[in-house]
Structure formats: C-alpha cells, structure tokens
Amino acid sequence: MESFNNKIAVVTGGGAGMGRELVRQLAREGCDVAMCDVMEENMQETLSLVSSESPEVKISSFFCDVSSQEDVFSFRDQVIKEHKTSHINLLFNNAGIGGGGSFLEGDQQEWEKTFAVCWYGVYYCSRAFMPYLVESKEGHIINTSSVNGFWASLGGFPHTSYSAAKFAVKGFTEALIQDLRLNAPHVNASVVMPGHIGTSIAINSGKILGHADAMDLSDEEVEEIKKVWISLDAPVHNYSNDQIKQMIKERRENFKNNAPTSAAQAAEIILNGVKEKRWRILVGEDAKNLDIRVRENPEKAYDPDFVTPFKIE
C-alpha cells in the first residue's frame, strides 16, 4: 500500500499516544479514519485536533472497550454505517494497557483485564473487521505487540499478563501471514514491537484499572511495590508509603516525558513499515538493540545482569 489517500482505516486506542498520532498522520495523507477508545475526553481531543488539521477527510469516533466482544462488534457495525462502506483498508489493533505484573502476588482481576485488553482486543477486532479487509482491493492488518512480545520482563520486574498477551499478539500475527497468503493474498499483516515510547500508557492504565492516580494506591499495593523495589536493591527501606506513591507518580510521568522515541516518531515508523509491506516493525533503537541481545544470547535473557541494575532517580 504505497499511499493511504482515499483509504479507510480503523484505529483502536485512538485517544492518546501512538493511536492519536496514527490517526493524525493517516488523516494528513488523505485517509478516512474511524477510531475508538474507552477514554471519551482523550478521544474528543483527538477528534478536535484532527478535524482542524485535516478537515477534508472523514474522522469518526466511538466508545468501545476492546476487551468486550459485544462492544467490538457494535463498534464495527457503527463504523460500516457511519462511513457508508462495505470494506476497510487498514486495521490498527493499537489499544493496550499495562498491569498484571505478578502472577503469584498480583490481583487476578487486574491480570485478566490487562490480558483481555491486550490480547482479546486484538482477537475480537480481527474477527470483526477481517471480512471488511478481505472485501477491499488492498488491505493491511497491523497488530501492536511490544518488545515484551519477545522478552517477558520489565527490567527485573515481573510482567506476566502484559507479556503473555503481547507474545500472543506476535504469534497470532505471524500465523496470519501464511493464512492470508493462501486465503486473501491482497491483505498483508504486520506486527509492531515498540520499545520505550513517549505515551501516557502508564497513567491511562491506572485510570482503566481503577487507580487513576498513584496516590490512590492502597497500602497493600504500595507495600508490594516497595518489596519488589527492595529485592532489586533499591534503597527505599525507610521510605513511607506516601513517598513511594510520589515516586510511582513521577515514574509514570517520566515514562512519557523522557522516552527516547516520541509517539509521533513511532507512528511515522509504523506507517512507513506498512507502506514497505514489512511484516515485522521494530520501533525505536532500544527495541532494535534489545531484539539483537535476546537473539544473540536467549539463554541469558532472564539472568539478573541481563538488564541495567534498577536505580531510583
């Protein structure tokens, strides 16, 4: 797909971060876009921004919890009706949240919600929109995995739910390549594996999982985080719970503000990868470097010294 002009794209998680930038950049190239999100305020900001930047294209927005099959199929029906179409050209399964770190000590409900958004969101949307991709003259499905789709860790922290989901997304997309080649050769598939991107995922995940602000974390949750930090040699033994909460809040903000790759840069890399029909799109030099390290020495990938030791900044 050398051009997005006069195409129709669906973007999940379009309210912020990479999703918002994908919507903006697609629209600038003359692509009509239907987006969804669970955070209405963020999505309306995207809608207002893109409508002013690219008034000549059609942009629509819909509330949808991608972890709900009912929501996803309703979203699909609304998209087809609103855009008066029998096909779409691009499906960006971008929506995701973080959470569900420890399988042993973490909350089961949070674990399952994270997995549902990050995996079932991709699965349900693929089920819902695949027939409309096949109906197009040229189509492309783009599924966002992560570096945690090939390395199931978070610098020493357990990262079980998110990693399990992202591994599933990667495997599913790779399996689709052969499936599409045999059954719909005009449709391509790509898996996106971003490294550290400057988005609000850490902040927004907290809102979706019920602790919008780090200061709202329970004492039990804070104690568990503190215990993990101490196990990683962080000097927080004498920190109060309020101090730990403040540090968590600052780390969430720093995740967005101090990333090596911006959301806009990530979206540009992804869209260029789609135009070049690359099935595997690594986003960021950190993602490329980690990929090389894991491939070169997979048996050492989970050794304690594989990553930079944990530091409190």
Of the two residues 234 and 37, the one the predictor is more confident about is 37
Query: Which tokens in the block code for residue 92?
Result: 């960006």
pLDDT by residue (tens digit) across 94-147?
999 988 888 998 889 999 999 999 999 999 999 999 999 999 999 999 999 999
Rounded Cα–Cα distance for residues 279 and 273 (Å): 8
Query: Which tokens in the block code for residue 74?
Result: 């309703």
What residue spans define the domains of the chain?
Answer: 8-199+261-295
Architecture of domain 8-199+261-295: 3-Layer(aba) Sandwich (3.40)
Residue 1 — pLDDT band, cuts 50, 70, 90? confident
Interior angle at CA 111, CA 253 and CA 229, nearest 5: 50
Cβ contacts of residue 292 below 8 Å, gap of 6+? none
pLDDT (0 to 100) of residue 199? 61
Interior angle at CA 78, CA 133 and CA 58, nearest 5: 75
pLDDT (0 to 100) of residue 78? 98
Pairing of strands 197-198, 261-262: parallel
For the chain, strand residue ranges (E) read: 8-12, 32-37, 59-63, 90-93, 139-144, 187-194, 197-198, 261-262, 280-283
**DSSP run (H or E) holding 132:** helix 121-134
Residue 253 — pLDDT band, cuts 50, 70, 90? low
* 8 bridge partner residues: 32
Q: Is the pLDDT of residue 312 over 50?
A: no
pLDDT by residue (tens digit) across 174-229?
999 999 999 999 999 999 999 988 765 554 555 545 555 666 677 777 777 777 66
Q: What is the pTM of this model?
A: 0.86
Rounded Cα–Cα distance for residues 108 and 223 (Å): 17
* 36 bridge partner residues: 12, 62
User: Quick one: CA torsion of 22, 24, 26, 32, rounded to 10 degrees?
Assistant: 120
